[in-house]
Chains A and B, each alone.
Chain A
Amino acid sequence: MENSLTPLLNAANQIILGKDRQIRLAVCCLIAKGHLLIEDIPGVGKTTLSHTLARLFGLDYQRIQFTSDILPADIIGSSVFDAERHEFRFHHGPIFNQMILADEINRSTPKAQSALLEAMEEEQVTVEGQTYPLPKPFFVIATQNPSHQIGTFPLPESQLDRFLMRIELGYPNREAERALLQGEQRHKIIAELPVMLAPEQLNALQQAVTEIYASPALLDYVQNIIDFSRQSDEFSAGLSPRGGLALLTASKAWALMEQRHAVIPEDVQAVLAAVAGHRLKAGSTDAASIVAPILEHVPVV
Chain B
Amino acid sequence: MLIALGLITLPHSQHLPLPLFLFFVVLWTWRFIAIWKPEWLPGKITVFLLMLAAIGLLYSQHQGVLGRAGGTSLFVVALGLKLLEIRGTRDIYLIVFLGFIVAATEFLYQQNIVMAIYIVLVCIFLLATLITINGLHAKISPTLKKAGIIVLQAMPIAAIIFVLFPRIEAPHFKWLDAEKNQVTGLSDTLEPGAISELGLSPELVFRVKFDGDIPPPDERYWRGPVFTYTDGKRWRESPNRFFKRYMDTPRFKGKAYHYTLLMEPQNKPWVFALEMPAHFEAPLQRNSFYQLITTKDPTQRAEYKITSYTHFNTGYLTKTELKDTLQLPGKPSERIVKLVKQLGGFDLKPEQFIANLFNYFRQENFFYTLMPKKMENKPIETFLFERRYGFCSHYATAFVYLMRVADIPARVIGGYQGGELNEAGNFLEVRQANAHAWAEVWLHDKGWSRFDPTTAIAPERVEQTLDIEQQIATRTLTIVTPEVLHQSMDWLKQAKQVLGSVDYSWQRWIINYNRTSQQGIFKHLGIKDLKTIIYWLLVLVGTVTLILARFILKNKAQPVDPAVKLYRQFCQKIPDVTLNPGEAPYRFAARCRQAHPKQAETIDRIIQLFVKIRYYPNSPKETLEQLKKQVDHFSCT
Q: Chain A residues in contact with chain B, CB under 8 A? A: 213, 215, 217-218, 261-266, 269, 294-301
Contact = CB atoms under 8 A, between A and B. Distances in A.
A301 B616 contact: no
A34 B580 CA distance: 32
24 contacts: A215-B615, A215-B616, A217-B615, A218-B614, A218-B615, A261-B617, A262-B616, A262-B617, A263-B615, A265-B584, A265-B615, A266-B586, A266-B587, A269-B584, A269-B587, A295-B582, A298-B581, A298-B582, A299-B581, A300-B581, A300-B582, A300-B584, A301-B568, A301-B585
Given A266-B587, A296-B581, A301 B564 contact: yes
Contacts of B586: 264, 266
B567 interface: yes
A19 to B, nearest CB: 22
Interface in B578-621: 580-587, 611, 614-617
Contact of A300 (B561, B583, B616, B617): B583
Contacts of B561: 217
Contacts, number: 53
Nearest to A255: B615
Contacts of A297: 581-582
Contacts of B584: 264-266, 269, 300
Contacts of A218: 614-615
Contacts of A298: 581-582
Contacts of A265: 584-585, 615
B614 A217 contact: yes
| Chain B: interface size category | 10 to 19
A64 B616 CA distance: 43
Given A217-B561, A301-B564, A262 B615 contact: yes
Contacts of A264: 584-586, 611, 615
A264 B583 CA distance: 12
B587 A299 contact: no
A291 to B, nearest CB: 10
Q: Which of A262, A269, A301 has the most CB of B within 10 A?
A: A301
B584 to A, nearest CB: 4
Q: Which of A215, A297, A299, A300 has the most CB of B within 10 A?
A: A300
Contact of A215 (B567, B580, B581, B614): B614
A265 B614 CA distance: 10
A215 B587 contact: no
A298 B581 CA distance: 7
Interface in B555-589: 561, 564, 567-568, 580-587
Nearest to B610: A301
A245 B565 CA distance: 29
Given A264-B611, A301-B564, A301-B568, A215 B582 contact: no
A215 B618 CA distance: 10
Interface of B: 561, 564, 567-568, 580-587, 611, 614-617
Given A266-B587, A301-B564, A301-B568, A296 B616 contact: no
Contacts of B583: 300
B617 A296 contact: no
Contacts of B616: 213, 215, 261-262
A299 B581 CA distance: 4
Contacts of B567: 301
A217 B582 CA distance: 14
A3 to B, nearest CB: 23
A286 B580 CA distance: 23
Nearest to B587: A266
A215 B617 contact: yes
B189 to A, nearest CB: 81
A266 to B, nearest CB: 5
A263 to B, nearest CB: 7
A16 to B, nearest CB: 26
Given A215-B617, A297-B582, A299-B582, 15 more contacts: A217-B614, A218-B614, A261-B617, A262-B615, A265-B585, A266-B585, A266-B586, A269-B584, A269-B587, A294-B582, A296-B582, A298-B582, A300-B582, A301-B564, A301-B568
Nearest to A292: B582
A168 B564 CA distance: 36
Contacts of A263: 615
A294 B583 CA distance: 11
A266 B615 CA distance: 11
Contacts of A217: 561, 614-615
Contact of A296 (B580, B585, B587, B614): B580
A269 B580 CA distance: 14
A73 B374 CA distance: 118
A280 to B, nearest CB: 16
Contacts of A301: 564, 567-568, 585, 614
Nearest to A261: B616
A269 B567 CA distance: 20
B581 A213 contact: no
A269 B586 CA distance: 12
B546 to A, nearest CB: 26
Nearest to A263: B615
Contacts of B564: 301
Contacts of B587: 266, 269
Nearest to A264: B615
A301 B572 CA distance: 14
A218 B581 CA distance: 15
Nearest to B568: A301
B528 to A, nearest CB: 50
Given A301-B567, A301-B568, A213 B617 contact: yes
Contacts of B611: 264
Contacts of A262: 615-617
B579 to A, nearest CB: 8
A264 B614 CA distance: 9
A276 to B, nearest CB: 14
The 5 closest A-B pairs by CB, nearest first: A265-B584, A299-B581, A262-B616, A266-B584, A215-B615
Contacts of B585: 264-266, 300-301
Contacts of A261: 616-617
A178 to B, nearest CB: 30
B491 to A, nearest CB: 57
A300 B583 CA distance: 6
B603 to A, nearest CB: 16
A223 to B, nearest CB: 13
A261 B580 CA distance: 26
Nearest to B561: A217
A251 to B, nearest CB: 11
A173 to B, nearest CB: 22
A100 B508 CA distance: 92
A213 B618 CA distance: 11
A297 B585 CA distance: 15
Q: Which of B567, B568, B611 has the most CB of A within 10 A?
A: B611
A261 B586 CA distance: 16
A26 to B, nearest CB: 22
A266 B590 CA distance: 12
B390 to A, nearest CB: 86
A130 B587 CA distance: 53
Contacts of A294: 582
Contacts of A296: 580-582
Nearest to A214: B615
Contacts of B568: 301
A223 B567 CA distance: 21
Nearest to B560: A301
Contacts of B580: 296
A269 B611 CA distance: 15
A267 to B, nearest CB: 9
Nearest to B583: A300
A295 B587 CA distance: 12
Q: Which of B580, B586, B616 has the most CB of A within 10 A?
A: B616
